Structure 1
Amino acid sequence: MKKQATSMRKASLLALSIVSMIGVGAGSVFAQDGPAKQVFGNIALPSAGAPASYGSYAKGCQSGAVALPTEGQGFQAMRLSRNRYWGQPQLISFIERFAKDAQKIGWPGLLIGDISQPRGGPMLTGHASHQIGLDADIWWRPMPNQIMSAEQRESTPFISMLDKSKFLTVDDKKWSPLNAKLVVMAASYPQVERIFVNPAIKQKLCQTWTGDRTNLGKIRPIYGHDEHFHVRLECPPGAPNCKPQAAVAAGDGCDKSLAWWFTKEPWEAPKKDPNAKPPKPPRPMMVSDLPRACAAIAAAPSAGGRSMAVQDAYVPAAAPQSVPQSSSGSGVPTPPADVPRPSSRPSLN
């Protein structure tokens, strides 16, 4: 344990030295580049300055982030040690409003998982997105009546909505019409651009939802997401540095793009050539790969005038498993164009 803490402390100091060597002027050249996840994953506080999102959901950063309170009316923040409860003000306001609205339909309260790091950017573990302060994970597990301790927020397990004995099937002992009502309500807010759920949950909604289906198309199927659903807000109006996604296709999404997830293609193991040379390790995303403003944000003073702080107590979770690459088989439905295809399958995306 002591050895692990020492290694993390060294990684934090390395990240700080990398940041200090990056040019911060608008036209400056990077004196020395470094892995973006090491830089942004070890910054403990948000930058000073106006709130703004830079780049795309999976390749960007944020300035002027604010923290979600550890608890509020109808919600509690989870896994506080990860320091991923920072977002743009409009996202924090959305969570607070959604939590109150959810109680009106009978949901006991929201458990909020990862949002973003203090300055966004790639994370040391887990997500490929959540980089610009506009994404939030909401657990399927309802909030308990009492305020949980910090220890309970770390140790309380997730609840999967899937029947683990059957392929891509929702467990009806866990899933209820109230779960469906909650996620469809989340999709109804105009600022919500997409919601990611497990393909089995999307299929369950397609088969059973009898209410207004206007916003059902916003709810998109993706790997994982059986223990939480992922809410993504649109780029705010008048935010020139935030890169939006293409609009969600018309319809409820209960079509061939959903059927594709129930074929072998998304899940089959990649075919290996026994004569091929071992592939080179994938190149990590560097700070210089992000929008240029992100280098300045990483090196900027912290909000409140404090100097940039670095976490040295963060202990990363287990490394995510790799995702099998899909084949180009013919005669099967094609995946929807907006499906994020990470190079590794996050355990919590």
Structure 2
Amino acid sequence: MSSPSALPLRVAALPFASACAAREKPPFAAIAERLNELAREHVSLAVFPEMSLVGAARMERLRRTELEALSEPLDGPSIAAVSRAVEMSGVAAGVGWIERANDGALYNSYVVCMPDGARHVHRKLYPMESPHLRSGALFDVFDTPWGIKMSILIGADNYMPENARVAALKGATLLVAPHRSSVGPGVSLRPDWLARSIPARAGENGMFAVLCDARAEPRGACKPGEAMIADPCGVVIARGEHPERPMATASIDPELARHSEARRWLTARRPELYASLIASEAKEGGDARPWAQPEREVRARGSVAVSFAVVGRKRPIR
């Protein structure tokens, strides 16, 4: 097996909801098969969707006890199995799962497992899918063997431009953006909105960006979503040909990010002009205070019969 540093960084976005699509085998087994295939195509990094190790399609319908039953610690059997597959194939892999922390808290987390055994974890900052999930408080930026700094933003973390900007200011030149769309009544997010915003984040911050989305539909069904890779100019350089070939692959040159126009302008920022963007002081020990989840829109279930009458009285004309 070749060392990852000896190979160019070739990235693949695989928008497969493996846990839903492969019910006859554990999701990490399906991921292992994909990694072996990608190794033959000289792919260095495989990006799977948000919650790719979780079998439940709609998180908002699950009680806390159900989420706890699906959760695992970072050193649990599923992540261990993915790490073994990564070491054997030589292909780094990013996968999502429900993390159970040492204090019992539950997080929507994503880990990038490296062939050398390293594991880089990000906890979702905006876990909108369930009130039982705690919000993360750190922007994680880490070095890779390919000479590029990587950051992870999960799902709704990508909806706010400030998050990608913070990652860029911390040195990230590759943004991994795993996502899981919900399809059904009451869902307002349009898939094309996210597909347009991710290249914009790449162009604004002089970074590569990889979007990998799975679509969670009613009754537990999952389908491949959008897969794309954008360059530091905001140009989409690879896109899945859904549904025939939903996977997107591209080679990434770190120098393009370092010498991009946006990266040059990041050094010319005037932070003193942006004081109005700071709502509160950052919590000690983290990048952000705990997130207060916004109230969900209340929708009536079923129908209620309502009857009323308007009674008018004619007044005599004088």
* TM-score of the superposed pair, with normalisation by structure 1: 0.25
Q: Name the structure where strand makes up a greater proportion of residues.
A: 2
* TM-score of the superposed pair, with normalisation by structure 2: 0.27
Answer 1 or 2: higher relative contact order, Cα 8 Å, separation at least 6: 1
Which has more radius of gyration?
Answer: 2
